[in-house]
Chains A and B, each alone.
Chain A
């Protein structure tokens, strides 16, 4: 079945560092891809999405490009802030209407 694999955390960076969180997927057909963020004690918020190959999703300085050839959707940000500390989930939505999540990556940003 469909699945999402993302790098395990926690990831600890200093403020203004460059961030990459890797995400790869397995799916039949052409899924939509998402990054969600979860702040402590809260639900999930959609960070960005891409619905077809070569699409780039972006929001709040974060970017991810849908790479069909490598089945990847890596999350990047050029300069992280302390407020970016959270858990980030890569997810896909395939033809069966379900949203499948990766295990999440906890990000700590040090001032």
Chain B
């Protein structure tokens, strides 16, 4: 099946710094990518949807200036957590979908810890 690679798998950063998470579709062109946040023992909360070459659409309550999403190519999307704070610590997961395909493929997730 299709592979989505997310990097890094774990990152620890200091409060106030920015962290970039990459999501790559390795063997298909991802016209749409999704970013989710997962709190411990809870479901995935959709943060934003991005289509290649256009601005991301953020869900209500998600700060777009804090969570910067870039989908500059058909195989790469990035999520940058700016000025991170301990409350941003979470598990972030990306998924990618090919045009006209209902199925989305997920990255392995990134565990972000802000200290």
A binding-site residues for B, Cβ under 8 Å: 32, 34, 36, 41-46, 49, 51, 89, 93, 97-104, 106
Name the A residues within 8 Å of B93 (CB-CB).
Answer: 43-44
Q: Which residue of A has the minimal Cβ distance to B44?
A: A101
Majority DSSP secondary structure for residues of A touching B: strand
- Given the interface contacts A98-B34, A103-B42, A106-B41, does A43 sit within 8 Å of B102 by beta carbon? no
Name the A residues within 8 Å of B42 (CB-CB).
Answer: 103-104
Counted as pairs of residues, one from A and one from B, with CB atoms less than 8 Å apart, the total is 50
Q: Do B103 and A103 touch across chains, with their CB atoms under 8 A apart? A: no
Name the A residues within 8 Å of B106 (CB-CB).
Answer: 36, 43-46
Partner of A99, one of B1, B34, B111: B34
Q: List 26 A-B contacts (CB under 8 A).
A: A32-B102, A34-B103, A41-B111, A42-B109, A43-B107, A44-B93, A44-B106, A46-B103, A46-B105, A46-B106, A49-B102, A89-B44, A93-B102, A97-B32, A97-B49, A97-B97, A98-B46, A98-B49, A99-B34, A99-B95, A99-B104, A100-B46, A101-B44, A103-B42, A103-B43, A104-B42
Q: How far apart sit A41 and B97, CA to CA, in the bound complex (Å)?
A: 22
Name the A residues within 8 Å of B102 (CB-CB).
Answer: 32, 49, 51, 93
Name the A residues within 8 Å of B6 (CB-CB).
Answer: 43
Name the A residues within 8 Å of B49 (CB-CB).
Answer: 97-98
Q: Which residue of B has the minimal Cβ distance to A104?
A: B43
Q: Would you call B90 an interface residue if the criterion is a C-beta within 8 Å of the partner chain's C-beta atoms?
A: no
Q: How far apart sit A89 and B41, CA to CA, in the bound complex (Å)?
A: 12
